[in-house]
Each structure stands twice: as C-alpha cells, then as structure tokens.
Structure 1
Amino acid sequence: MKIDLPMRYRADIDGLRSVAVLLVLVFHFKILDLGKAGFLGVDIFFVISGYLITKILYTQALNNHGKIDFAKFYLARIRRLAPALFATLALTLIAGYFLLLPEHFSSLAKEVIFTQVYASNIYYWQTINYFGLQADSAILLHTWSLAVEEQFYLFFPLFIFALFLFFRRHFWSAFALAGACSFLLNIYFVNVKPEATFYLMPTRAWEFIVGGLIVFFAQRRKAITAFESETCAVAGAIVIAAAVIFYSENVQFPGYYALLPTIGTALVIYAGTCQGSSITRLLSTRLPVYIGKLSYSLYLVHWPINIFAAYQLGADYTVEWRITFFLLTFLISIMMFHWVEHPTRKVSIETHPQRVAWGYVTGLACTIIFSATVLTQNGLPSRLTDTARQLANYSSDTPPDMPECQPDATSELRREDFCQVGDAAQDPSWIMLGDSHAWALKRAFDIWLKGRGESGLFIFRHSCPPLVGLSLFKEKGRCRQFNERAYAYIYTDKSIRNVVLASTWIQARRALTLDSDRKAEPGESLAIFSSAFTQSIDTLHSKGKHIYIWGPVPGAKGNVPLRLAKAANPETEAENLAFTFSEYQQRYDFFYDAVEFSKKKISGIINPSRELCRNGEVCRVTINNLPAYSDGDHLAYSWSNYWANVIEDQLSGKL
C-alpha cells in the first residue's frame, strides 16, 4: 500500500529561509548590534534541510518497499547545489586573481579545493576559530556549513535505507535514537573540543534529525487544529527570537544552546504542515518568499564579498561601506538566482541524467585543476610587475614556523622548552615572552643579544599578551595557562635577570576576558588589561627581575604589501595607509597609562613609534620605501637588523 506524503510546495519554508539568511548576513556584515547571534541562521537551515530530505527519502522508501533511488537523489542534489557553487567559486577566483597577492591567492586556491570536495568544515576546524582568530582571512569560511549539509546528504540516504532494512518496525524509534546520540556527542564535546563540535557533521546531525522528526509527527497527526497550529508557530517564533536576542558569541555553541533555534524552527515548520498559522501566512508573503528563494545564492556570495571588501578597505571598512556591500550582495544574488540557479533546475534528471552528471564532473575538474595550478605556481606571481612583485613578497616576509618556541601550555616548562637566542656559549640571562609580534621580533632580539655577547630564551603564543591573570575569548584558557607556566619558570630560574614582554597589546581593546567562555565588553577588556599589566609588573619586580617592555607598533590602515603592490603610486598609497601620531596615541592610550602607572618598576621601554613616527605627525609604514610590515601590523622579518639597532639605541644607558 502506498503512503501519500504529498511534496507540495511550502512557501512558508522559503519565508523561513529568508529569516535564516538575513540573520547570517546581518551577523557577518556587523550591521546591527542585535545581530550578534546571527550564526543561528545556519541551525535554521539545518532543520529545514532535515525536514525536506527526510520527507523525500522516507516517502520514497515507503512506496518502494524500502528501496531508494540513490542516483536520482544525488543527481537532484547536484542539480540544486552545484551550479551556483561553481559560479561563486569562479567569481571568487577571478576576484582573487586581480585583488590578492600570490600568498593569499594560494590560500584561496586551497580553500576552493576543500570546498569542492565538501571537506571545508574539516579544513577550517583544523585552522580557524569562527568567532575570532583568523576568521577574517578565510574567503570561503562560510562553506563549512555547506560541507556539513553535503556530508549529511551523502550519508543520510544510506542511513534511511539501513533503518528500513533492519529496523523497519521501529524506524522512528531508531531514527530518534540516532539523533539523541548525536546530541549527546554535541553536549560532551562542546566543552572538550569546541571547534570540532561546531564544525563537524556527527555533532550537528541531530539538528537535521529534529527536522526529520517533523515528518513523523505530521504523519501521525493527520490534521492539527487551527489553535494547535497557531500555538506551535507562535511558540516557535518566540523561541527563535529569544535565542537571537539573548545569545551572543559568549554562548558555548552548539551545546544545549542550539536547542532553542532547532526546536523553534521545528515548531514553525510543523505548524505549517496542516492548518497554517498567522506566522505561516506572514512567512508566505511575497517578499520573504522571494528572499528565501535567493537564500542559497545570498549565502554563497555574501562572505567572499564581505572579506574582499575588508581586505581592500582595511580600517576604512566602516558601517556605511558594510551596508553598501550588504546591498551589493543582494544584487549579485538576484543575478545568480535568475541566470544560474533557476535555469539549471529546468534540466530534467529523468531525461538528462548524464547531462547533469557530466556537467558536475566538468565543473569540478575545471575548478580543481585551476586551483591546483595556482597552488603549484605559488599564487601566479607573474600577474604582477617586477616592482609590485617585490612589494608583494613582503607579505611572506615572516619568520619561519617555530613550533619549538610554542610549547604545550598545559605542562610545566623546562629550559629545553624555550628557544635560545643570542650567544649560545653564554648562560641565558634574558627572556622574551609574547605573542606573534614577539615572534616577528625574535631575530632582532637574537641579533641584538649576539652583539652584546649575551644569551637569552624566547617563547611565544599567537594572540596571547604576555600577562598573568587574563584569558582570550573562546580559547579555553590556554593563554592564561601559557603565561602562568612561563612566569613560573621565570620566577624559579635565578639566571634569568632580564624579562622582555613583547606584544601588539591591542587585544586590550576587544579580546581580553577573565573567563574564556564569555566575551567581555570593550571597557571591561581594558580594565582587565590594566589590572593584569600592573599585577605582572609587580610580581616580576618583586622577584628581582629587570623588566623591559616592547611597545605597540603603530601599524597601518590596511595590508601594507598588498596595498602598495596594487597602488599606481606606492608612495602616495603609503601616506594613505599611515596613522597619524595622534591616532596612534588615541589607539594605545590605555597602554601608556598602564606603563606610566608602573614606570618606577620598569627598567626600560623599546618604543617602535619613536622610530616610525619621528616627525610627530605621521607614522610611516615603509622603511627605505619598502614595507615595514608583512601585513597591517607585524614587522617584516627582513628588517630584523634595523630593529636590533633600534633596540640598542633605545636601551643604551639603561642596562
């Protein structure tokens, strides 16, 4: 007997998609403060996909004695998803060809390959913190959720087939049990492995399964009353709204927090299965439905547009520009929907399966071959003139990777855990501790110590200011542990008499917290810095250490090698990139206030602004007309001798 689960078009689901994609766009373009939980839009998409795909496969299996036409299903997914993705990747590669330096173009090519094989979530899990660290450098970061969906589409038909084969009488019980197992994995690992829990399919599968369970309840309850429909829809809308309003980056997501958007979405979808509510009718109106139809294209193009804009504009990427590019996203999405998405949906799978398959294979091969060529040719540097190439090369003018200088933050440190710098024949009497800015300075410190016939130790951790009593948001307390271990070693090693603390220090304006699971407000972050700076200086001084501080570099209003390489007149562009000295002072007033408060306990400060802002008006971004930085604020490695001389000049007479 055939079961009728009609696959009628649900306009309200397109309307719900519009809510999801607008949440994501507002969150990523940082247009409204209320958009801080816009990442919940992805969870809404997951529930919608779970509902629709479960309905398709369950109906097919019921009507065909448990059999599923896998080829038809996968070809339908390819026809639906691949053309717009190919178009987006092609446009992104074209933009990258003209806008990106070779190093960054190579990185984009690698992202494209992982995106095309639907493994970008695994790649970003290993390399990116979605809520902060390096997220603004990944042009295809948003494709992690597409990878999760595609992995779900790949395995879910096999899962449904297996349930019908082995658990047909208890299909829905086994289905729900699988969802419960995924949810429990999510709960357990969200604290142990938060990045993996956020990015990987096994800890996200329960959201799709919750969507699938709507099919069960809709089938069991053939009709629901208007009152029940209204109640479910209003409750679902309230739950989603509550999550959007009250959640922020502070929540440990997904975890238990993902229940609100997931259950809320399921209630809204369920309400529309029969009677339809006021919420269903609102979502079914023309504008939400149209935006919902655009949602896939909107989602695909919005993040590359946002990142390219930020990449080009740097500090000038103001809210006005963000709104402009937000609107540009809609324009490009409309064109992509009508010229790419909609026409390809007319290709029949039944009559032209080979056409769909070969189209996909051709597109896949073209993008992977081109991306592989970019990788093997190191980003196609021949695109640039000799002068531009020389300037662009400074983007890779960084120290070599130094894993040996980044020991495990959770274990007690020994001397062999540090890198030794300076005269290796001498017993270390110096130590430099800091973040990636210390890493950029390491060779200069090494050269300076060799010139003095002295030796030292070096250790660093990316993004971590070298102060006790503070944490970084979403970093699981590793920065705090790192500094505690480093300071404990400094206290106990009596031969270490001099301590250099080196950092960008700008973390104080946005990233410092006492609890790594909670993002502090800017004012609170500054207070945490002031307290931690004073505590660190006081403690080191009480242990008889001489303390030297590397001050903040002025930095630039954008990526210096990129902007100079792309500029028609690099000298004029260098002036445009430069901060004025008053702007520099305003950015770092908190740092100099902290130094002033503890100045009697500080033996010396090496201030790069004294060198780069000599005239007291503009802080130059070049040295001898070449980039002083490898990006917007890390000192270029090749200027290490230059900065070794600066250290000597500024500390002369203080040692």
Structure 2
Amino acid sequence: MQLNPMSQDRLQSSTDQHAPEKRRYRPEIDGLRGIAVLAVVLFHANFGSSNAYALQGGYLGVDIFFVISGYLTGVLVLTDLRRQTFSLRDFYIRRARRILPALFLVLTVTLCLALLILVPQPLVDFSRSLVASIFFAANIFFWWRIDYFSEPGELTPLLHLWSLAVEEQFYLLFPPMLLLVWRCGRQATLCLMIVATASSILLAFHNGAVDAAGTFYFLYYRAWQFLIGAVLAKMRADHRDSRHPFGAVLPVIGLGLVLCSLVLLGSRGAIGMGSITVVIGTSLIIVGDRGPAFWLLTRRPLVWIGLISYSLYLWHQPILALGRSYLVNAPGGSTLTLLLSASFALAFLSWRYVEQPFRHAAINREQLAASAILTVVMLVAAGLSSLLTGGFPGRYSQVQQHLLEITPERGIAYVEGRTCTRRAIVDACIIGRPGTKPHFAVLGDSHAETLTGPLSDLLNRNSASAYVYTDAGCPFIIGVVEQNSNSHCDEYNNDAFQALKANQVSDVIISDRSTAYMLGTRFDNQEGGIEPGLPFPVAPVGFRGDDHARTLAVASQLRETLRRLAENNIVVYYVLPVPEVGWNVPRTLVKLIAQGHLPLTTSLAVYLKRNEKVFDILNEFKDNPKIIPIYPHKTFCSAVSGRCATHENDEIFYTDTDHLSRQGAEKLVAATAKIIKFHD
C-alpha cells in the first residue's frame, strides 16, 4: 500500500484574483491521511499475534488514500481546465517533484541495507522488485510473485510500492482522458466518470472470485476508488456554493465508518464490505462541512502525521521487513516500537530535507531531470548486477555459500509417482519391498508422513513393507477430534484401526505431535523462538469441561489407544514427539550463517519438561513387551551439553519449526532400525 502522493499536495489559496474559484487547504484531509497511514503502519507492524492482526482492516488505509488521491487530482485538473491553464507537462513535472526525490532516497538506502542483511536468493528477489518499482510496475511484479497477506510479505522490503505503481498508472491515464472528455463533450464529463466508476466496480466484483490477487493489485479493479474521489471533485466544483443541510453530520458518520472498517472489517480483497464501507466513509468526510469530525481530524498531531505520511509510508515497510530479516526472533512489542520510531524519525527528516526542497522549486527543472536520470541508472545498474551475479554471493565464504544453497525437504515417500499423504484408507500407500505382504503400518499425522521415505528404504532392505495410514493434523489417538473445527480425526482413526485388524497387521510405527495436541499449545523454546500458528487442541468426542480436564481426558484416550493395540496383539513402536524448535530452522539458519553465529540449538530441559506427560504415559507401559518407545531426543540431543541440534555439518534436520527434513528423518530412522524387529 502506498499513501497517495497527490493527496500530500496542500491546496493553498490561489493568488490569482481573477480565478473562477479558489483551491483552499483542507486540514481535515491531512488528518484523515494521518489516520490512514497509522492504520497501514500498524497493520504491517502487527502488534497482535502472528496469526491474527491487531488491526484487522488496517490495510484499508490505502483505499482511503486512493479516494483522496482521486479527489485532489480531480480538483487540480478540473480547476486548471476551467481556467484553461491545464498542461499535462506541468502536471507530470509536479508529480515528479512530489514523488521521485523521497522515493529514490528510500530505494537507495534500502538497497544498501539489503546488501548488508539479505543473503543471495532474497537479495535477488529484492533486486527484481527494485527494478520493477523504479519503473512503477511493482503491482504487476508482486501479483506474479507473492500473496500480499502471506508471511513472506512481511519480509519483502518493497511490497508496499505496489500501490505507488497503481497511483502512477492512474496519474498517467486519468488526466489525459479527462482532458479529452473535456474538449469533446464537457457536459458529459460527470456522466462518463460515473459510468467508468460503475464499470470498475462491476469488474472487481466479477473478477474477485476468479483472481483475487489480480483484483487486489491491478488499476482497472481499483479505479473505482480513484474515480469516486474524482466524481466528488466534479460535483463539488459544480455546486461549490451549495450547503448540505446535514453537512456537519455526514463527516461524523463517515469517520465512524472509516474507523469501524479499519478495526473490524478487513476482508483481504480489493472489494468487499471493508473496502466499500471505508470508501463511503471517506467520501462523506470529503463532502461534509465543519463539525465534530472536522475538529477531531484537524488536531495538530494527526495533521502533522498526515503531512509526513508519504515519507512515513515509504520508510516503514523496508525498516520492518529488513528488521525481521535480520533478527533471529520475531520482533516483540518493544522492538517493533523501536523500528516504528526509526520510521517516524526518517520520515520527518526526508519530508523536511528532501520532500520540501524539491517540491518548492529549490531545484530547477533541469537539475531535477538530471538527478532523476542519474539515480535511475545507478539503481537499475545495481539491481541488474545483483541479478547477474546471483545476489553477490562473494560476500560470503565458500562454506557459507554451500550452506545457504541447501533447501531441506521432507522425507515423504512416493509410490507409483504419487505422494503418500492425505490418502483415504482404501487408497493407502504401501511402502517398502514391492510385492511383499505388509505386516507393518505407519500411523500418525504429518510427522509420520515425513518418516515414510526413509522407513520405506529400511523396510525394503529387510524384505518388509507397510501400509501408510496417516492424516495430517490428526494424532493417532482413538476417540478424539480437534476442537473448534470440523475434525474427522476420530472417523479416520477408527477406520485405520479396523484396517489394521482386517489386514492382519502385526507391527505399527506411530509418530505424531501428541504433546502439542494434548496441551493445545504451540511451542515456546524459552529463548525467543515461538512457533507461529493457532493452537490445535484435541478433545474426546462430545467432551465438555475446562482445559485441564481436557488434557487429562486426552491423556486417558492415548493410554486406551495403546492398550487396545496391545490387546489386539499388535507391537507398537511409539516414536515420541521430535524436539520442536520454535524458530523456522531453514530461515533462521540463513540469518545465522550470514552473521557467522552458528550453531542453532534448543534446550533439552525445555523439551523434557514439555513432553513429560507423554513420557509418563509410555513409562506406564514399561513392562508391556508390545509397547516399545522410541526417544528422538536421544538422537538429536546431548545430555552433556543439554542442547538439541537442528543441523550438523551440511545437513539440516528440519524443514520448519517442527517437521523433520529427509536428512533428519533418515537420522531418526537409522536409530530406530536398531530397535525394530523384522519377521523372517
């Protein structure tokens, strides 16, 4: 999102005494701009959890700016057309003075910081976005590359410049089209603008379900927001001496709609309840008169934020994204406050010492053109050099480069060209030696699935095979379902249990995140690494009670599941939960490799404490020869150092915060092979 540069133009009273009308400065628009930029900045900072934004509709601040931009552009162009003084050349020169200096400063500083912080592949991606942003094609680039609301979006320094591209495209097209309409059919101007607005709205609604990203990023689906502002400018110009009987009330309603949209109505699309409500609210503020809302919007702090909003918008996303890229832990409240404080400070400095001098003609037209061309050449050259070299890998040693090139993948088995995940019981994979009757079965969730590749190799070497009865998100605990969802875990596990008996399976290997399901919490490694995502507690079918009772009930169901398997003469190799990490291992290793701060380890004591309930349950079966526990911490952790490894030499054991990679799965299966007994 980008604050519209046009909306930054303070419409001062005209000095031309013969002008048909005067353009006056409207401080309430600066105040509204202050609200909009604060909403966007807080949305990007995300002081809420990693999964629920503290300001749900904060990104709708850009919709406010699009309306304001359309309105102020309409006022400017229509005023000059009436005076017969409009010049496309002068219009674009004003836009260049307003937009380019601060933009080029931010791009240059961000490039320098990216060279210091980003490793080769992210730097290549940044360089592509840099070149696209210079030529105001960032919206097309990001439509092709990234989901605005995804986690990678938080790490993309120039993601917000998609909307600057949209605005520049509007500036490129709207004034000449309005000029053409004015000359050919002046009386039809308002009618044609309304038709164009309606057409854009219809296009956005029609395309929203088909291409949500395109609807979000492209001008022709966003044009209605600009055009509504332009329509308001035309109507105000045609009826400038009229007063609405509810002129002071309309902005109050409008401000209420705006605040409601920003706080509650984020729909994450270009058009929806949130965007429609915020556009209506903005429009009511623009057409209204002085009153309570005017008083609120013209408070000095809010107006000041509005005045620096363009620079603040340009600075905040690179500061936040590069800060997140550098820090090992997700930034907490104090760190985010520090980053935002830096954004405000840089915004004020660039507004005072860059925006103002260039805007008020301290630099003449020729100097502006020369400096712009030189800056573009330098930035494009730097971006292309990064692309051609693959992100300047020479910044790192050969060992670092090798580690940075590793992309760990999960060890999921493939059978006949199909992956062994999310399969129905009747369509279950059979891994291991082809053509042999399976006596084994693999049970559990996605953690069991990631073991299937190495397990298949192990079974094959021992002339054995196994059914794969796994379902991501479902632990193999019979009789439980995931709370607060349409869970089918109980049905799947019951079907799997019946299949074990029907197929005369004698041995099962169980692996899942039983602790996480039982406790209902994501992992906190107590060292700053907190696993993102919503909790996923399970509970017995029909359970009613508090969380403590739920935990005890799930533990009871796990005991009963193990007991039922043993009573059916099935040997259970129970793989306890693997050490969780809290940090996304590949992503965090990239940062530590670049900074030379390896290794990445976690606390064994924290692991043992978190999993003590599962340890206790397995200990209850210590005298049962059919329940055989397998302890992953004995493979990945050292009792001497008290730390659990996430990597070793050039092997990375995890693909994220808790799933093993193929290398990690192979390491665990190799240890398991010493315990599993194969039948002759």
The worse-fitting range, judged by mean Cα deviation, of 51-60 and 261-270 is 51-60
Which residue is 1:363 aligned to?
A: 375
Which residue is 1:223 aligned to?
A: 241
Cα gap change, 1:59 to 1:200, in 2 (>3 Å): same
The worse-fitting range, judged by mean Cα deviation, of 187-196 and 79-88 is 187-196
Q: 2:96 aligns with which of 78, 85, 104?
A: 78
Cα gap change, 1:235 to 1:458, in 2 (>3 Å): same
Which residue is 1:51 aligned to?
A: 71
The worse-fitting range, judged by mean Cα deviation, of 399-408 and 445-454 is 399-408
- Could you say which structure has the higher helix fraction? 1
Which residue is 1:128 aligned to?
A: 146
Alpha-carbon offset, residue 367 of structure 1: 2.0
Q: 2:404 aligns with which of 383, 392, 400?
A: 392
Q: 2:589 aligns with which of 561, 564, 569?
A: 561
Distance 1:402 1:170 in 2: 66
Distance 1:203 1:490 in 2: 52
Specify the code of the residue in structure 2 equivalent to 1:363.
T
Cα gap change, 1:154 to 1:252, in 2 (>3 Å): closer
Specify the code of the residue in structure 1 equivalent to 2:37.
V
Structure 2: segments with no counterpart, 5+ residues? 1-17, 523-532, 544-553
Contact 2:433 2:464 in 1 (8 A): yes
Distance 2:470 2:373 in 1: 46
2:25 counterpart of 1:9:
yes
1:196-215 aligned within 5 A: 196-215=214-233
Alpha-carbon offset, residue 21 of structure 1: 0.8
Specify the code of the residue in structure 2 equivalent to 1:621.
T
Which residue is 2:537 aligned to?
A: 526
Which residue is 1:195 aligned to?
A: 213
Alpha-carbon offset, residue 358 of structure 1: 4.1
2:297 counterpart of 1:310:
no
Pairwise CA RMSD: 5.4
Which residue is 1:514 aligned to?
A: none
Distance 2:178 2:430 in 1: 58
Contact 2:138 2:161 in 1 (8 A): yes
1:247-646 aligned within 5 A: 247-248=265-266, 254-271=271-288, 275-315=289-329, 317-347=331-361, 352=365, 354-394=366-406, 396-398=407-409, 444=454, 447-453=457-463, 465=473, 522=534, 525-526=536-537, 551=577, 553-557=579-583, 559-567=587-595, 570-571=598-599, 574=600, 578-579=602-603, 581-582=605-606, 586=610, 608-609=632-633, 611-613=635-637, 615=639, 617-623=642-648, 627-629=652-654, 635=660, 641-646=666-671
Specify the code of the residue in structure 2 equivalent to 1:280.
F
Q: 1:245 aligns with which of 236, 239, 263?
A: 263
Alpha-carbon offset, residue 264 of structure 1: 0.7
The worse-fitting range, judged by mean Cα deviation, of 71-80 and 634-643 is 634-643
Alpha-carbon offset, residue 408 of structure 1: 13
Cα gap change, 1:626 to 1:232, in 2 (>3 Å): same
Encode CA deviations 1:330-371: one digit per residue, 9 max, x unaligned.
Answer: 11222222233222223479x61x543443333233222212
Alpha-carbon offset, residue 442 of structure 1: 7.0
Distance 1:61 1:439 in 2: 68
Alpha-carbon offset, residue 261 of structure 1: 0.9
Specify the code of the residue in structure 2 equivalent to 1:148.
V
The worse-fitting range, judged by mean Cα deviation, of 167-176 and 633-642 is 633-642
SS at match of 1:570: coil
Specify the code of the residue in structure 2 equivalent to 1:200.
F
Contact 1:145 1:199 in 2 (8 A): yes
Encode CA deviations 1:51-78: one digit per residue, 9 max, x unaligned.
Answer: 112222333444449xx63333333323
Distance 2:336 2:136 in 1: 29
Contact 2:102 2:354 in 1 (8 A): yes
SS at match of 1:134: helix
Distance 2:469 2:197 in 1: 45
Alpha-carbon offset, residue 584 of structure 1: 7.9
Distance 1:456 1:269 in 2: 69
Equivalences, count: 618
Alpha-carbon offset, residue 439 of structure 1: 8.9
Specify the code of the residue in structure 2 equivalent to 1:392.
L
Encode CA deviations 1:10-45: one digit per residue, 9 max, x unaligned.
Answer: 332222111111111222222367523211211111
Contact 1:422 1:448 in 2 (8 A): yes
Structure label with greater radius of gyration: 2
Structure 1: segments with no counterpart, 5+ residues? 511-520
Distance 2:484 2:172 in 1: 37
Cα gap change, 1:648 to 1:237, in 2 (>3 Å): same
- Give the TM-score taking structure 2 as reference length: 0.72
Which residue is 1:144 aligned to?
A: 162
Contact 1:148 1:200 in 2 (8 A): yes
The worse-fitting range, judged by mean Cα deviation, of 222-231 and 103-112 is 222-231
The worse-fitting range, judged by mean Cα deviation, of 559-568 and 85-94 is 559-568
